[in-house]
Amino acid sequence: MIFKRLILGVFLITGMLFNAADGSAAEKKAKVGFVYVGPIGDHGWSYQHNAGRLAIARTFSDKVKTTYVESVPYGADATRVITKLARSGHDLIFTTSFGYMNPTLKIAKRFPKVKFEHATGYKRSKNLATYSGRFYEGRHVVGLIAGKMTKSNILGYVASFPIPEVIRGINSTIIAARSVNPKIKIKVVWVSTWFDPGKEADAAKALIAQGADVILQHTDSPAPLQQAQKNKVWAVGQASDMVNFGPKAQLTAIIDDWNAYYINRTKAMLDGTWSSQDTWGGFKSGMVKMAPYNKAIPSDVVAMAEKAKDGIIAGTVHPFTGPIKDQSGKIVIPAGKMADDGMLLGMNFYVEGVDGTIPK
């Protein structure tokens, strides 16, 4: 009992000291908070968002204080952490994974003065904006390159979960690849995880053994790229430039670059011009970037890839331009038409050329 009282006393005294110190040193810095689903050391999704946070910290070093909480599970914990950020005086909070959608919406209602931004979701409110990247644009460029580089005409795709985001990427890749080489097939292996280097590597190996000579991935670790390097086939990096994991194998990488967006939104918050909106940025806004192309890619292929990229930026090229057939041969996007964002966001069918069916 005496112990307990002693500890309590110590706490009270030190607590008072600190509160006093806090009060005197109060300087007005805006606070921007981030919630990550993975560890910042995942070298993938959360790593790139954290790079964006660091970019804010560099740009507004005297005006903004950034904080983050990593590895926050979906569900009850997410709500707690986001609420905590809102309560502790954050002005702008980025919740960077799909599973945070409903918690963020709920909390945004409770804290109308705090501004929220949720990545990859579709629910918005007055103080809740959404944002995501048009990574399928990058996959279009990758598909063109892969279509030219493959000798076996088989592309291997290490996929995580059958959600529209992933299916859209697979379709975008195969449509582009078949536009330069109609014989191409794509084999998809679902690993049911975003992050398990071992399993991702095994999936890549399985695909390579089945004849795939370009490995694409929609999972987070550099392991598939490493396997490609080891087995002397091509691969494409995911989320960040992974070239030092497979300098020979990496054709290019689709980079999630949140820096510009985060800096813009922080600036808007500081200026008082922030408003809720939906941003789906691609090449044009710089949210999606291509890593430097591998030297081994012939210059005409690079030129073609760059042309497609410029076309996408200019609006003359759309990765989902009809006629596009689904696996059964039925036309889903008629000739001359392009898929609208609604169709892209809810995409849950494979187009022609994908081997196998979407897991139900």
Partner 1 sequence: MSELFVPVLLTIITASTPLVFAAAGEVVVEKSGVLNLGVEGMMIVGAVIAFAVGVKTESAALAIISGAAGGMLTAFIFGFLTLRLLANQVATGLALTIFGLGLSALIGHGFVGKTFSGLPKIGVPFLEQIPVLGPLLFVHDILVYLSVIAVFLITYVFNKTRLGLIIRAVGENHHAAHSIGYSIVWVRMGCILFGGSMAGLGGAYLSLAYTPLWVEGMTAGRGWIALALVVFASWRAWRAFFGAYLFGGITIIQLHAQGFGVDIASQFLSMLPYLATIVVLVLISNNSSRMMLNAPADLGKSFHASD
Partner 2 sequence: MRLELRGQVSERMVYCSPVFAVIMTFLTGMLIFSFLGVNPTQAIITFFVEPVSSIDGVAELCVKATPLVLIAIGLSFCFRANIWNIGAEGQLTIGALAGGGLGLLFFNSSSQFLMPGMLIFGILGGMVWAGIPAFLKIKFGTNEILTSLMLTYIALLILSYLIHGPWKDPEGQNFPESRLFPEAGLLPIILDETRLHLGWIITLICVPVAWILMTYHLIGFQIRVMGMAPMASNFAGFRGKNIIWISFLISGGLAGLAGTIEVSGPIGQIIPVISPGYGFTAIIVAFLGRLHPIGCLLSGLLMALTYLGGDNAQIELNLPNAVTGVFQGMLLFFLLASDVLVRYRIQIIGYKNKHRNVE
Q: Shortest gap between Cβ of 110 and partner 1 (angstroms)?
A: 32
Q: What are the φ and ψ backbone dihedral angles of 345, each rounded to 5 degrees?
A: -70, -30
Give Cα 221 distance to the centre of its chain: 13
Q: Shortest gap between Cβ of 353 and partner 1 (angstroms)?
A: 13
**Cis peptide bond N-terminal to 224, omega within 30:** no
Interface positions with partner 2 (CB under 8 A): 3-4, 7, 11, 14-15, 18, 33, 39-40, 67-71, 73-77, 79-81, 83-85, 87-88, 98-99, 101-102, 122, 161-164, 192, 345-348, 359-360
Residue 61: name its binding partner from partner 2, partner 1, none (Cβ under 5 to 8 Å by kind): none
d(CA 88, CA 128): 18
Residue 164: name its binding partner from partner 1, partner 2, none (Cβ under 5 to 8 Å by kind): partner 2
Cα distance between the two ends of the chain:
59
Q: Does 290 bind partner 1 (CB under 8 A)?
A: no
Residue 195: name its binding partner from partner 2, partner 1, none (Cβ under 5 to 8 Å by kind): partner 1
Q: Does 36 bind partner 1 (CB under 8 A)?
A: no
Residue 316: name its binding partner from partner 2, partner 1, none (Cβ under 5 to 8 Å by kind): none
Q: Shortest gap between Cβ of 360 and partner 2 (angstroms)?
A: 5
> CA torsion sign, 301 to 146 to 134 to 237?
negative
Q: Does 189 bind partner 1 (CB under 8 A)?
A: yes
Q: Which of 244, 275, 299, 328 binds partner 1 (CB under 8 A)?
A: 244
Residue 7: name its binding partner from partner 1, partner 2, none (Cβ under 5 to 8 Å by kind): partner 2
CB of 4 or CB of 295, closer to partner 2: 4
